[in-house]
Amino acid sequence: MAKKMPETPMLDQLESGPWPSFVTNLKRLAQTDDKQYADRMKDLLGQLEYSYKNIKGYWKGGTVGVRGYGGGVIPRFSEVADKFPLSAEFHTLRIMPSPGYHYSTEALRKLCDVWEEHGTGLIALHGQSGDIMMQGCSTEQVQKAFDALNEYGFDMGGAGPCLRSSQSCVGAARCEFSCYDEGRALRTIINNQIDDLHRPSLPYKFKFKFSGCPNDCADAIHRSDGAVIGTWKDDIRVNQQEFKKYVSERGRKDIIDNIVTRCPTHAMSLHDDDTIEVDNKSCVRCMHCINVLPKALRPGKVRGCAILLGGKHTLQIGDLMGIPVVPFMRLETDEDYEKLKEFASRIVEFFAENALEHERFGEMLERIGLANVVEGLGLEVDPNMVVNPRSNPYVRMDDWDDQAAKWNQRKVVAAE
Amino acid sequence: MAEARQPIESGVPDPFPWMHPALRKNYGMWKYHDRPRTGVLHHVAESGDEVWTVKAGTCRQLDVFTIRKLCDIADEYCSGFIRFTTRSNAEFMVTDEKKVAPLIERLKKDGFPVGGTGASISQLAHTQGWLHCDIPGTDASGVVKAVMDSLYDDFVNERFPAKVKINTLCCEINCGGHGDIDINVQHTKPPVINHDLVHKICERPTVIARCPVAAIRPAVVNGLPSLEVDEKKCMCCGACYPPCPPMQINDPVNTKIAIWIGGKNSNARSKPTFHKLVISGLPNNPPRWPEVSAAVKKILEAYRKDGRPYERVGEWVERIGWARFFALTKLPFTRHHIDDWRWARGTWNTSAHLRF
């Protein structure tokens, strides 16, 4: 006889209301009595209700993995297994999706089939790490589940002190703002360093994220150690006919209030004939005007990315945003992507050599200083890296002439 | 014995075989887009090809039956392709405008709300919570469900000054991000230490090094090596709890919920910003956390009334000032709003720019 559904009076209250309910999803799995996972999901629901009642979590970590890899499985053992024995082991497999989260229904159905056979049928699309979260595996089934997914073409994501799974915006696949091939950049960097992802041996985690333009839909600047954010170097492309059309549709007041005066560097000027003038030398490529008037204004044609290092969440010294150590890198040719790949390896190598244990890149940057990191990475200092130059004299500057000569030399080379 | 199977280290999969054919064909060659209605994006390629995308909310924690239902819809309307956003919305692409309305009807009928575009609220980004995490103070899934129920009309309609992104976090320090509004755990008491277990489970130097304020030191308690916390220094962040589970930071009463606002990752108009504290001390109140939904709603109503077009929440407050924000929302401003962590001085007003 099938095991009885647990009483879940608290969780039941999360089934009402218009938004889709995760509790309904969990219950449906628990009630599919002809499947191997139904009874495990009943105990899982029991434990979750117990958490809701006691306002406390009951999972602890451990060590579970697959042959050949050092990470990627998040082990979970229940602390209340005496009450809920069937969900005593409830591990997650982090599986890497494609950049931009594209799926054929065949691939999605494959995930479902594997998870019905080896797991619980519970999948999160997607975790905060960017992975497909295959949740609820027993220790014994982990290898079999991974083998089935791996044979189909999926690979394990990262967990622990390693290069982590990555994320990108939809980008070139469906966005006119895309300034480089995000999917290609992501796969080039991550797959080149896949050993660092599967076998944790870095001081701490390192995340790359990829956004095609400064709108940063992948939240890269704050949520990754290495943010690759699309931008362009030449002028915004203006279609004056389309611009005039926008003015006639939206009215001049709207264009002045919501486009011209919202430009952060006052780089726009509306002419009396309703055409627009952009002061491209002052433009910071924020995207606002392009976002609002996409038919009239477009990113330039000399496209590529900025690379910002050091973003992270609170632990340990506080939240940090990335800093553009590479203000612009052209991304068009095979050689450009090769350069990006090499630079990404250099970043991770520098991190491995210089960070302390459990120190994120941004914290290391704070400890050893931006100028030192920039030079350590073989880059040159650039005014785009600062809001303003230093405002205190606490610095030893007896090599001023040499440093100034470096800058002047660069200007000469650039002019040639 | 059969040889052990070695993994095929294939890495991140190629997106192209799984990409809608119209997206594949026009990859990197899109011209412009507009939004014909809430929940629908219309993209036009240089080639003249057009794609309509219908965006639908999901609950992120999905059973295989729901995923297969999404697949059935994608098979019927979208040539068997689907994609997801970073906020767990499902996106359905069609090349025939006539399919848009029936697709929306079908999604609604199957229980997937259509919206989340433009000046609406997108699905809340959320962490794992009691369902799976080893250190959670709360259950993000439950908070998200309750808050999305209360903001449902703002998902299916574009009626804020600008887009609104909300995140929830189940602890103070690890996952999650900075959005227009963030719903975070805030612990208010130091960890409760089980001295019988510390020497068995915890690597003590690691735990000591993990504390952001150096409040943990080695100690011998009941003859056993353990750790003690200087409770005057401790700011109750819970950083010691992951490396040392016997230092329990979660507490049914003293683990509270705090609300932070004004975070933004986009560079549009203003630079990206971190969120700022506005409310703390809300009870951790499952199953529906009504105090949290009420607080979020209160802030969003003030923003809706007072924000100007395209102003994100943080930009709105930047314009009107914090004094006016606290007046409009009738929320208390306390000494805890004044930062005392490193870089705090940059958050203090060092001018005579004052608002009354």
pLDDT digits (tens, 9 = 90+) for B280-297: 999 999 999 999 999 999
Please indicate, yes or no, whether residues A409 and A352 belong to a single structural domain of this protein: yes
Q: What is the pLDDT of residue B175?
A: 80
Q: What is the pLDDT of residue B174?
A: 78
Mutation for B interface: A10, A24, A69, A105, most B CBs within 10 A? A105
Residues in a beta bridge with A89:
A77
Please judge whether A25 and B125 are an interchain contact, meaning their C-beta atoms are less than 8 angstroms apart: no
In a domain, A355, yes or no: yes
Nearest CA in chain A to B6: A68
Residue where one domain finishes, among candidates A281, A298, A315? A298
In a domain, A229, yes or no: yes
The nearest CA of chain B is from the CA of A376 a distance in Å of 25
In a domain, A257, yes or no: yes
Of B8, B60, B155, the CB nearest to A124: B60
- The two tokens of residue B6 are 């070695």
Of B51, B84, B135, the CB nearest to A174: B51
- Residue B176: band (very low, low, confident or very high) from pLDDT cuts 50, 70, 90: confident
Tens-digit pLDDT profile for residues A184-203: 999 999 999 999 999 999 99
Of B14, B268, B274, the CB nearest to A287: B268
Query: Measured between alpha carbons, how far is B240 from A400 in angstroms, rounded to an integer?
Result: 45
Tens-digit pLDDT profile for residues B115-161: 999 999 999 998 899 999 999 999 999 999 999 999 999 999 999 99
Query: Measured between alpha carbons, how far is B105 from B110 in angstroms, rounded to an integer?
Result: 9
Residues of A in Cβ contact (< 8 Å) with B286: 10, 52, 55
Please indicate, yes or no, whether residues A227 and A367 belong to a single structural domain of this protein: yes
Q: Which distant-in-sequence residues (6+ apart) come within 8 Å of B37 by Cβ?
A: none
Please indicate, yes or no, whether residues A193 and A177 belong to a single structural domain of this protein: yes
Please indicate, yes or no, whether residues A279 and A172 belong to a single structural domain of this protein: no
Query: Measured between alpha carbons, how far is B276 from B282 in angstroms, rounded to an integer?
Result: 16
Say what percent of chain B tops pLDDT 70.
99
Tens-digit pLDDT profile for residues B219-258: 999 999 999 999 999 999 999 999 999 999 999 999 999 9
Q: What is the pLDDT of residue B2?
A: 63
For B157-180, what is the mean pLDDT?
A: 93
Please indicate, yes or no, whether residues A251 and A372 belong to a single structural domain of this protein: no
Please indicate, yes or no, whether residues A266 and A384 belong to a single structural domain of this protein: no
pLDDT higher than threshold 60 for residue B262: yes
The nearest CA of chain B is from the CA of A259 a distance in Å of 10
Q: Which distant-in-sequence residues (6+ apart) come within 8 Å of A341 by Cβ?
A: A188, A189, A192
Q: Is residue A291 within 8 angstroms of chain B, CB to CB?
A: yes
In a domain, A22, yes or no: no
Q: Is residue B189 within 8 angstroms of chain A, CB to CB?
A: no
What residue has token string 């699905």? Answer: B123
Q: Is residue B252 within 8 angstroms of chain A, CB to CB?
A: yes
Q: Is residue B1 within 8 angstroms of chain A, CB to CB?
A: no
Please judge whether A98 and B274 are an interchain contact, meaning their C-beta atoms are less than 8 angstroms apart: no
Instruction: Read off the pTM.
Output: 0.98
Please indicate, yes or no, whether residues A251 and A292 belong to a single structural domain of this protein: yes
Q: Which distant-in-sequence residues (6+ apart) come within 8 Å of B264 by Cβ?
A: B178, B179, B180, B270, B272, B273, B312, B314, B315
Residue where one domain finishes, among candidates A250, A267, A298? A298
Q: What is the pLDDT of residue B1?
A: 52
DSSP B138-204: S-HHHHHHHHHHHTHHHHHS--SSS-B-EEEESSSSSS----SEEEEEEE-SPPEE-HHHHHHH--H
CB atoms within 10 A of CB A102: 28
In a domain, A150, yes or no: no
Please indicate, yes or no, whether residues A284 and A397 belong to a single structural domain of this protein: no
Please judge whether B60 and A155 are an interchain contact, meaning their C-beta atoms are less than 8 angstroms apart: no
Please indicate, yes or no, whether residues A271 and A289 belong to a single structural domain of this protein: yes
Q: What is the pLDDT of residue A129?
A: 87
Q: Which residues of chain A have pLDDT under 70?
A: 1
- The amino acid at residue B161 is P
Residue A40, SS3 per DSSP: helix
Phi/psi at A327 (5° precision): -65, -30
DSSP A171-198: GGGT-TT--S-HHHHHHHHHHHTHHHHH
Please indicate, yes or no, whether residues A252 and A350 belong to a single structural domain of this protein: no
Residue A305 is given by DSSP the state: E
The rounded mean pLDDT for chain B is 96
* Cβ atoms B265, A311 nearer than 8 A: no
Tens-digit pLDDT profile for residues A222-251: 999 999 999 999 999 999 999 999 999 999
The nearest CA of chain A is from the CA of B353 a distance in Å of 20
Q: Is the peptide bond before A126 cis (omega within 30 degrees of 0)?
A: yes
In a domain, A14, yes or no: no
Q: Is residue A98 within 8 angstroms of chain B, CB to CB?
A: yes
Please indicate, yes or no, whether residues A396 and A268 belong to a single structural domain of this protein: no
Residue A384 is given by DSSP the state: G
**In chain B, what are the domains?**
16-109 (3.30.70.3340), 129-188+252-344 (3.30.413.10), 192-248 (3.30.70.20)
Task: Determine whether B67 is exposed, middle or buried from the number of CB atoms within 10 Å of its CB (0-12, 13-18, 19+).
Answer: buried
Residue A380 belongs to domain with CATH number: 3.30.413.10
In a domain, A282, yes or no: yes
Range of the domain at A210: 167-233+305-415
Domain count, chain A: 2
Q: What is the pLDDT of residue B258?
A: 97
Q: Is residue A349 within 8 angstroms of chain B, CB to CB?
A: no
Please judge whether A92 and B132 are an interchain contact, meaning their C-beta atoms are less than 8 angstroms apart: yes
Please indicate, yes or no, whether residues A310 and A384 belong to a single structural domain of this protein: yes
Query: Measured between alpha carbons, how far is A44 from A84 in angstroms, rounded to an integer?
Result: 7
Residue A271 belongs to domain with CATH number: 3.30.70.20
In a domain, A225, yes or no: yes
Q: Is residue B206 within 8 angstroms of chain A, CB to CB?
A: yes
